[in-house]
Structures are given as C-alpha cells and as structure tokens.
Amino acid sequence: MKTMALVAGAQVDTNHFIDGMRIPSDSTFQDISPIDGSVIAEVARGGRHEAYLAVTAAKAAFESWRKVSPKERAAHLHRIAELVEERVEVLAAVETADNGALLRSHRRSVMPRVAHNFRFFADYLTDSLVVDDFQTRGHRNHVSYDPAGVAVLISPWNAPLMLATWKVAPALAAGNTVVLKPSEWSPLTASLLADIAAEAGLPPGVFNVVQGYGEEAGAALVADARVRRISFTGSVPTAKSIAAACAKNLTPVSFELGGKSPFIVFDDADLELALSMAVEQYDNAGQVCLSGTRLLVQSGIWEAFMERFAEAAEALRQGDPRDDETRIGPQIHPEHLERIEGFVTRAKQAGAHVVFGGEPNRELGGLYYRPTLIVGADPHSEIAQEEVFGPVLVAFKFDGEEEAVSMANDTDFGLAAMVFTSDPERAERVSAQVVAGTVWNNCFYVRDLRAPFGGSKQSGIGREGGAWSFDFFCDLKNSVFSPQGWRG
C-alpha cells in the first residue's frame, strides 16, 4: 500500500515509526485536507499489534535512555529544535494542508514555538530542575526526579505539532521514552517529527509514532500495563474512556480538556482593546480550547459593544488558509462541521437569536462555517454550557461584578477566563474568584512555559509547564541518609 505522500511539496512517510524504523500496517486510512476536501495521504492504520510493538520498543529503550545524563538529553532536544527551525516552511505548509489552520500563523508563531518547546525543557532540565538537600534531625534528605518509564502521548488536531511537543519535550527531557499517537484528522507533522528525531540522533525506541484511530490504536496504547504515564489533550468523553482504562493499571494521567471560557467586559474597560481581543476568539475557526466563547458584557456598554463587535466580526475575511489575507479558515472535518451546525440549529429551536452567521459559508462551500454570535440563550442551555469548538460565540448581559463572577463560574468547565477592566483592584478580585486554570486580564493568550497550564473541573487533571511537567513525567524520590553507620 502507498504510504509515502507528497503534501505541499514535501515527502511524508505515513507509516508508523517504531524502534527507529518505518513499520507498515495491513490497512490504511485516508487523510483529507479541510481546505478543499481532497485526499492528501493514505496513512497506516495501527491497532493492537502496532501499539504492542511501540510500547515494547519504548520499554526496551528506556533501560538505556534513563541512564543518559541530563546534559546529553538536553543536547538531543536542542538539536531537534535546530532541525525544526530549519524546516519551518515545510512543517508550516504540511500542517496547513492537513488541518486547515492559517499558514501565516504556522510560519510566524506556531512552528517557531515547536522549537521553543524543545529548547525550554532542555534548559529547564539542566538549569532549573534542582532541589537542594535539606536536614531532618541531622539526616540528609535528597530529592531526585527519576524517569517514570514509557509515556503515551495523545495529541489533538487543532494545533497538532505544537501541542504534541508540549508533551514530547518534557517527557524526553525527564528521561522517559515516548509513544506519540496523533489525531487521525491531522497525522502528518507527527510523522515529520519522527524523521527529525532520528536525524537528531535519538536512539531507536526512544521516540515512536503510532498512527490510527483513537478507538483502535489509542485504546490499545492506554490499556497497556507497561505504560507509566499517559498525557491526553482532547474531549471530555474521550478522557473519561482513557481514565477508565488507566484505572485498571493505576497509570497516572494528565488531561487537558475542553473549555467554555468567559470573556468578561466591564463598562470601565478599554473598549477598543476589549473589542480587538473579542474578535480574536474566532482564531483558528474557533477551534481553540482556550477561546472565550461566552461573552459577558456589562449592561452599561452592552449595545455599543454588540454593535461594534458585529461590525468587526463580519469584516473578517474567510477563505483559503494559505492566503495571507485570510483570517478564518475551514473547520477540520465534515463530522465536525455537522456537529457545529447541530449546536446552532438546536440553539435556534430553543429560542436563541443568531445576530450574525449561523450557517456554513455557501459562497466558499466545503467546510467553511461563518463566524457566529448568538444572544438570548438560556444560561443553562446547551449552547451556553457545552463546548462547540467552532466559530460560535454566545453573549450575555450582566449588571454588577458579583453577577459577572457568578455567571463566569456557572459551567462545568474551568480552563481559562478573560477579564477586561481599567480597575486593577477589580481585576485582582475577579481573578481570585473565577474558577479557571488561566485568567488573562486585559490580554489574551500570553503564554509562558514557566507557568502552570491546565484546567479545573471538567477542563482537565494536572498541569503542564515548568516544574509541573517534570512532576508529572517523573517519579519523585526522597533518599534519606543517616549520619551514623558508615564505614571508615
């Protein structure tokens, strides 16, 4: 079967990458570009057999990789970063063809961020991951970060390579070996990363890629008792299935899941700033878990904000993501477009009002859905409570600060929140009360890998970034040494 694809001018081997070799499967699945619906690759369809081979290879490689010094592991990660930077154009073009996100964003920020992820965790390993020994009644305590073992990493489709490397980089830096299972809707850059890892000199079995469907390859990987860490970014239902499988083996998990984040605008806010940031919530065609999809606007500026927001959103150019002038590209997959349409249809049937959008872009056809704003929804309705993961925002009016906080927290999610106000004391008060893993005040998507990242409630379990990543990917050990009983 043909498993070498020419995508955006680049050759992509779509076999699995296991133990340093390309491994085929008996069957393949089609990878479809959301830009125009064309089949751009036939990808090896892994299952239980390929999952077993990958974990076996990773477990064998772990015995030697765990003994590699932090300095040498860091050198490997720095080399990977260098190779990513050399291939930014290729990686950007392939990823845009694969998942439909804006090419200019991939070039300018996303792929450079991939390289930064590797550099950051390499440097953190050697420069910051230090615990000073301490004394207890004359006994010396020594805390060490020991590699945990095989890590299965399951990445999503909305920012495939960047989000995968948030996991891959700290897992490798910690001394673990990795099996990466990318989403079947955007599998290609994971395969290119395997080529980069091999060129960077990672020993066979240290980094592996298994392609395939979640219910086949993914399910087999998370059920394997030899796996010692599982990190997953995706939906709540899938996370619950993974958690059930992990419970049988008591495998530690880290979940970064969905959101229904509040975007709170007080009447003393810088209106221009708030409006510009509100329009940014349509980024990546709304396929961003952090997006502030619930606009909570204070009554004093409600009419002015809504009018100007509608003007700005409707002016966004939608089209081919390879065009530098495009602001909104397509949805990832026909199933996902159908899901978005279902949410909006049910919201209208329940009495909500569509201010603008509310339908696919008939002029473009395919998977393009118009930026949408909904008002008049019941705060406890589906459209107000569930993650649509598309270019659909729902707006509500509030009167005072207490009501704003109550509305912000009135959801099962707690991933992020945005607060816009000119009062720094109010910003502090509201930030302290909102339940979210990240609260941005008068800004959006300011991200530092030194900070913890993750969600509360159904938005996830655990945190990524800095020491929190190493806390997860390592077995922390405390060795206690008595001053007595030594020979000599």
| Residues forming the active site | 256, 289
Residue 172: strand, helix, or coil: helix
Which is nearest to 13 in space by CA: 198, 158, 157?
198
Bridging pattern class, strands 372-375 and 392-398? parallel
Residue 333 to residue 322: CA distance in whole angstroms: 17
- Residue 104 sits at the vertex; the CA angle it makes with 307 and 360, to the nearest 5 degrees, is 50
User: How far apart are the two ends of the chain, measured CA to CA in Å?
Assistant: 68
DSSP string, 441-469: ES-S----TTS-B--EETTEES-BSHHHH
Q: Say which residues have a Cβ less than 8 Å from residue 409's Cβ, sequence separation at least 6.
A: 433, 434, 435
Q: What is the DSSP letter of 323?
A: S
Give how far Cα 419 sits from Cα of 278, 412, 423, Å.
11, 19, 11
Q: Please, is 443 exposed, middle or buried when counting C-beta atoms within 10 Å of its C-beta (0-12, 13-18, 19+)?
A: exposed
Which is nearest to 353 in space by CA: 382, 385, 376, 379?
376
In one letter, which amino acid is 446?
Answer: V
Q: Say which residues have a Cβ less than 8 Å from residue 429's Cβ, sequence separation at least 6.
A: 401
Q: Say which residues have a Cβ less than 8 Å from residue 263's Cβ, sequence separation at least 6.
A: 277, 278, 281, 292, 293, 294, 295, 296, 417, 418, 420
Bridging pattern class, strands 39-44 and 28-32? antiparallel
Query: In this structure, are residues 369 and 361 in contact, taking their beta carbons and an 8 Å threshold?
Result: yes
